[in-house]
Structure 1
Amino acid sequence: MSSNNNNKLALSLVISLFFFWGFVHNLDPILIPHLRNAFSLTHLQASLVDSAVFIAYFLLAIPAGIIMKKYGYKSGILIGLTLFAIGCFLFIPAANHISYIFFLGALFIVACGLTILETAANPYVTVLGDPSKATQRLNFAQSFNGLAAFIAPILGGKFILAEQPKSDTEVAAMSEQIKTAYIQAETAAVKGPYMILGIIILLVAAILLFTKLPDIKNDEGEQKSGFFHAFEHKNVRWGVIGQFFYVGAQVCILSFMVLYATEVAGIPPLEASKYASFAGLAFMLGRFVGTFFMKYVQPLTLLTIYSIICISLSLIVIYGSGSITIYALITIAFFMSIMFPTIFAVGVAGIGPDTKSASSLIIMSIVGGAALPPLLGLISDKTGNLQLGYWVPLICFVVVLLFSLANKKKDNQSLLSSQE
């Protein structure tokens, strides 16, 4: 097989991984209201689902980078898939023990796998092909993440959410025995979907194990500089800041979608899951449309325009009422869709031997998804108004706007071309 054909096969296999981690991430909007109902959680406590996931990105990103530098991209991907599958299987004992903490632990293990997987796969896509098309290529790969964002809420809503969940008052009025049986039934609903997902991930890992993936080597200077040498590059520093706030915004928008629809718009949970699916569809379409526009518009110019639109729509989410607020959230999902891959591609562009280190640092900044949603939940609990919590993603989009403006002087395409 020629090198070019081998690269195409490798790229196809790695792009498929974007779907799988997107799928498990986009089960969280279903899992949050489901566990909140089952365990009678506050908004802040429910937001710990996201915290358990995204804290792993902070803790595991640097070890993931070390694994890649020492063993290569393929080893990182295989280790990530293995941890991903183990975490999925841990949902079974978590449900059997009726323990919210156990669920958070299982999610943390899943996220450890995703951290290593994303630390390997994102830069792999940017360097596997024409450097001048790295941003466009990563946006295309991330489009399959968007496809998962559309499918996951549909399947999650069908197999996890109850038709008529009990209110906190109804649960409190139950006897201890009936309450335990109710919680057991609610938590058991998650076992099937996560077990099937774990089996699929193991099969994917087995396929990749026996597939030759080309490892992209940077120049000889890769091992000479320290891990944090990447911070000497301005675009890396801004990439870490921009990604921290963007991921915080994305998690706030997508993970709280079902809660927002039920509490602000008064929509039943099962129907609300459909709106989460619409947001996923918008997110997916935004990625494909954004990838197309990048043929004609510089990525950072597009990022600037999209950031301004998201800031404006966030004001409607905060101060609007009725169905227009839900549609504003869905539209935000469309316009924020290009942000992660664009920030990432710009953040690792033109830095040669520091690429793997920069990838770890930018992936580590995904911890914004752990830090900022609890702030949204805390503001909502303190004010008694979920909408006011959405000042958090609004401020995040302002930071993304600053990222795009700060890097605008360095044309993105010239940055990428410098890798050649």
Structure 2
Amino acid sequence: MTILSSSPGLKANINSQQEPDYRFALTSLTSLFFMWGFITCLNDILIPHLKGVFSLTYSQAMLIQFCFFGAYFLVSLPAGAIVKRLGYQKGIVVGLVIAAIGCLCFYPAAAMHSYPIFLMALFILASGITLLQVSANPYVSMLGEAKTASSRLTMTQAFNALGTTVAPFFGAFLILNQAAEALSPQASAESVQMPYVFLAAMLLTLAAIFTWLKLPDLSLVEDEQQINVTENEGSAWQYRHLVLGAIGIFVYVGAEVSIGSFLVSFFADPTIAGLEESEAAKYIAYYWGGAMVGRFIGAAVMQRIAAGKALVFNAICAVLLIIVAVVATSTLAMVAILLVGLCNSIMFPTIFSLAIQGLGKHTSQGSGILCLAIVGGAIIPLFQGILADNIGVQPSFLLPIICYLFIAYYGMSGSKIKE
């Protein structure tokens, strides 16, 4: 390690040898981002589906997101320890296998017509996705120069958004359409069985592929980052920009998930569009599709514009659009809330990469902390569900405004590294 830090020539040689592999590694990792985006977005289909099957209130239906994103809170720190021990690649493989087991649990949950077992299956599935995120996000951030980490992670997150764009069509066709034709609640619940068995097969296939792939070992990169950090003792919690970044991830994921979770109910409102569930579900693709388009644009733009400034701009635009969605009706309200997806595009990868910048040997722990903060996707939708039960679906969208205001603050000031 001493030789590495005192020999720029050797350091350059190592980087030049690994650089060709970085492109291949990034290409391989995009499949993971696609899959967990696809699976996460299916929750937006499950919520109205299981709400009808089990006659749930909005707050009860939001337990779907509570159990799914609650796994991030319980599993993220252990996942960080697992990645630190096994390495990023083996962490990815283990995460894929656990996620596949969660998908397979949907079969007995539907057969037994049990909402608690559905929630357990979602928790197991999300535990695997958590391990994937803890492994893959920092791995992508370190595959190149630190100053372009936001751009690089935004690009891979664009494929995550591609998964979320495709998933609503998949869910509307194979779950909601089948459920509409079912003659009983039992048959309606069973409409989720084969789609999730198919997803389990895909995840196990990816696990086999990543077991075989030879990806770059980034331990030397972590060591080099550690050398360049002034304070590298203690833990990741001592870094102010990481802690504020964790809050940023909490409120961002909470706002994004909460909005997506209520879109079907929002579009079904007679004052907005009065759409049937299977038809309204297809519009979710525009919300997530906006995030996908924005990430491709953002990946290019943030090569030239500071990540913090881009974050502030998008957060303020999101606030203004939600205000329009709350006070307007009909097509204007629909378009406004869907355009929030475009504003969301760069937020997660930008906050994540800004928060882990300069952590050195604490990068894996920092990644675990940030993934722990994804529990916002469990908490904030639950609170919006309570608001929707009491004041209505449309006014309940005022809650995400608070989230986006904090994100604007983080981009403006909170993300600055203070030694």
Give the TM-score of the pair, scaled to structure 1.
0.90
- CA pair 409-90 structure 1, distance change in 2 beyond 3 A: closer
**Shift of residue 10, structure 1, vs aligned partner:** 1.9
- Among residues 191, 194, 197, which one is paired with 1:192 in the alignment? 194
Structure 1 residue 163: Cα displacement: 7.5
Whether the aligned pair in 2 keeps the contact of 1:286 and 1:338 (CA below 8 Å) is yes
Gaps of 5+ in 2: 1-15
Letter in 1 for 2:374: I
Q: 2:336 aligns with which of 309, 328, 331?
A: 328
Q: CA deviation at 1:4?
A: 2.6
1:163·1:269 contact (CA, 8 Å) conserved in 2?
no
Who is 1:358 aligned against?
366
**In the alignment, is the contact (CA less than 8 A) between 2:179 and 2:188 conserved in 1?**
no
**2:137 aligned residue:** 122
Deviations 1:16-61 (A, max 9, x none): 1000000000111111101111111100011111011000000000
- Alignment check: 8 A CA contact 2:92 2:136 kept: yes
* Counterpart for residue 404 of structure 1: 411
Contact 2:245 2:414 in 1 (8 A): no
d(CA) in 2 for partners of 1:35, 1:203: 28
Task: Report the Cα offset of residue 6 of structure 1.
Answer: 2.5
Distance 1:164 1:207 in 2: 34
Give the equivalent residue in structure 2 for 1:219: 223
3-state DSSP of counterpart to 2:184 = helix
Instruction: Give the superposition deviation at 1:2.
Output: 5.2
Q: How much identity, in percent, do the aligned residues show?
A: 38
Say yes or no: does 1:107 pair with 2:119.
Answer: no
How many residue pairs get aligned? The number is 395
Q: Does the CA contact (< 8 Å) of 1:301 and 1:408 recur in 2? A: no
Which segment is superposed worse, 41-50 or 280-289? Answer: 280-289
What corresponds to 2:61 in structure 1?
Answer: 46
Judged with a 3 Å threshold, the aligned counterparts in structure 2 of structure 1 residues 82 and 45 are, in CA distance, closer, same or farther, namely same
Superposed, 1:149-298 pairs within 5 Å as 149-162=164-177, 165=180, 182-217=184-219, 218-219=222-223, 225-226=233-234, 229-263=235-269, 264-298=272-306
**1:115 touches 1:363 (CA, 8 Å); kept in 2?**
yes
Instruction: Give the CA deviation at 1:282.
Output: 1.1
Closer, same or farther: CA 103–303 of 1 in aligned 2, 3 Å? same
Structure 1 gaps, min length 5 = 167-178
Query: Partners of 1:408 and 1:24 in 2: how far apart?
Result: 30
**Paired AA for residue 302 in structure 1:** A
Which residue number corresponds to residue 9 of structure 1?
A: 24
Q: CA 1:121/1:219 → structure 2, altered by over 3 Å: closer, same or farther? A: same
The DSSP-based 3-state class of the residue aligned with 2:177 is coil
TM-score, normalised by the number of residues in structure 2: 0.90
Q: Structure 2: how far apart are the matches of 1:163 and 1:317?
A: 31
- What is the rounded CA distance, in whole Å, between the counterparts of 2:416 and 2:113 in structure 1? 54
**1:295 Cα deviation from its structure 2 partner:** 2.2
Corresponding position of 1:388: 395
Q: Which runs of 4+ in 1 moved over 3 A?
A: 162-166, 407-410
CA separation in 1, counterparts of 2:325 and 2:74?
33
Q: 1:37, 1:165 within 8 Å by CA — same for their partners in 2?
A: no
Q: Within the alignment, does 1:20 sit opposite 2:28 as a pair?
A: no
Q: Deviations over 1:98-133 (max 9, x none)?
A: 011111110100000000000110000000122221
2:376 to 363, 368, 373: 368
Q: Secondary structure at the match of 1:129?
A: coil
Equivalence for 1:312: 320
Whole-Å separation in 2 of the counterparts to 1:256 and 1:83: 28
Whole-Å separation in 2 of the counterparts to 1:285 and 1:311: 19
Residues 242 and 403 of structure 1 are in contact (CA less than 8 Å); yes or no, is this contact kept in structure 2? yes
